[in-house]
Structure 1
Amino acid sequence: MKQLNEKSFDKIIDGMLEVVDKSKDEIYQLTESSREEHKLLSDEIEQTRKAIEYLIVEGDELERKERLYRNRLAQVSKNFNIYSEEQIKEVYETAHEIQTKLKMVREREITLRQKRDFIERRLKSLEQMIEKGTALVSKVSVISNYLNNDFKQISDLIDNANQKQSFGLKIIEAQEEERKRISREIHDGPAQMLANILLRADLVERTFRERSGEEALVEMKNMRLMVRDSLQEVRRIIYDLRPMALDDLGLIPTIRKYLANVEDYHQINISLSEQGIQGRFDSKYEVALFRLIQESIQNAVKHGAPKNIHVNFRIEKNQIFLLIRDDGIGFDLESKKENSFGLIGMRERVEMLDGEFSIKSQIGQGTTVYVKIPLKD
């Protein structure tokens, strides 16, 4: 009876192994199929993006011509008697042809944009499938090894599972911290700006009703500036979620590009000095340093009204030193510490890399941010 039970048990294990191996093969085939489709769609979306860029350029050129011929039509209509019938016909036909072609180009552009968006959604779906498939293959392999070893490695598997659980909890914790950071930025930025826009809209309505249309128009222009600033802030937060240029260009080129954009947009002077920097950094350093610089610059531009900002970035004896100084209006550091989510987030980023963070500021004397991070890798 005992032998029978052992044989039955072995038969069950063999059956389980067969099912597990078959499932692993099916998951692997599905994952590989998803990879192939992902590659094809990646090539297709690249071609679609290039086509959209070409249509944008062509559409802009047609818009320029369309404006030109619209002015020409206005001249012909105004001085109808001095033009021949053929000239008038030519102007009208050419203008109509350009307008028709422009409409076709814009419609084609919209179609390609919709196609691009669909492909992007499909790519994200495939990436999730590939990720899940890879994880499932890995897990099924673990189960297969577990069964093949006759349950002799239970303690090792439990330990490995505990490590995975601990790692998963750390990931969840990091995600929650990132969500907190994003909520802080939205609270400090777009949420307050939108509230101000609503108040400004009420003010426009009262001004138009109680005063004059000209004064209301001035208030509307001010509100438009606020909407523009809000849009810029939203775009900054979106960009903060993942500065993709870091992966392609590296930290220093990305910083240069970012500072140049800020300098051009806000019409202030921003200088960058670098010492001892060679090659690329590990991703955790590049992302953290870029966001520290970005947060410091945004705080200075938003609250300090500076004319000049200087960024100094250097490496000495496996230490990263970062200094951001502006000549803005400064602030009371003690009162700011209590409510500034931005400063809290910056300090948290530096502490995650075992670094040191300090900030000095006085009203009327600008602000200086100091960062020191050990370069371990």
Structure 2
Amino acid sequence: MEVQVTNKSLDKVIDEMVDVVEKSKDEIFFISEEARKELEGLEQELVETKEKVLLYIEKNDHLQLKVKSSRKRLAEVSMYFDRYSEKQIHDVYETTHALQTELAIVQREEKIMRQKRDELERRIASLKQTIYRAEGLAGKVSVVLNYLNEDFQHVNEVLEEAKEKQEFGLKIIEAQEEERRKISREIHDGPAQMLANILLRSELVDRTFRSGNVDGALAEIKSVRKMIRSSLYEVRRIIYDLRPMALDDLGLIPTLKKYLSTISEYSNVDIEFLYFGDEQRINSKYEVAFFRLVQEAVQNALKHAEASLILVKIEMNVRNLIAVIRDDGKGFDPKVKRDKSFGLIGMKERVEMFEGKLTIDSEIGKGTKVLIQVPYN
């Protein structure tokens, strides 16, 4: 429960962080777009301002020539004052004054335009830097957002997987204890009871023989032999459940044939077995692991699928051991997580231990297909 609470709390924190980062990303994008719009306006204004500066420069140069010429004329009039009328002298003074005033205005306007041009260039450079930084920040925020959405999701998956492994570990311990109790009961109720009966019957044989009843003693001996055979069968069955001896003696394929045949007869379910490849021996660890994987898949089909037909296909090629276990049972939805599905978890753990691949394809009402691929040397 603590792990669930922690996961929910972590999900809430991550969701809040994602929301804040997404809003920040939107704000950065808005700032960047506004800066771009302002930049476009300023660049257009700069073009116009530069054109005005050029016009003022041309006008300034033209007026300076006119002022120079007017001053020359004024100097000439002043030097030969007596040659010109009062009106001519007045006109020369007025013209020169007007040209000087106009020149001063043009020079002042040119200076203003130059200052405006320089200010526009500074603002454009600053806006370009702002846009550059905004784009860089937006890229970093996108990385953070992807990290939150993907990598933190992976963290949740890791936590969930760790939780499953913890539960699976506890289940293994429980299963071990339950298996010990089962074996203890089986030995107590089976071979132990039979051995006790054999001991009692052997004493009865001894008394019967001593009393002179030879035929009765022989009959008791036959009964004792029958009990010994039954006890031996029970012991072998218990040993087989723990680990099939045929696996060490005969190998994987013959052991699977015998196991599936026995299970089919015992459960009254039709189990078909197909094998492709040479019946070669492989490393014992692979034989044991693969036998247990097929055993678990078949047991799941028998216990949960309510199947009437189970098809087991095994292929052994130069690279992989491949098993397909298909049933015509009721199926299930693999997307819906089932509580206490430790059989599948155990299969997944065993396959991952050998760096293999486990694929489960099932649909409600359409049976289940289990594909196991284990690479081996």
TM-score (norm. length: structure 2): 0.40
If the length of structure 1 is used for normalisation, what is the TM-score?
Answer: 0.40
The structure with the larger Rg is 2
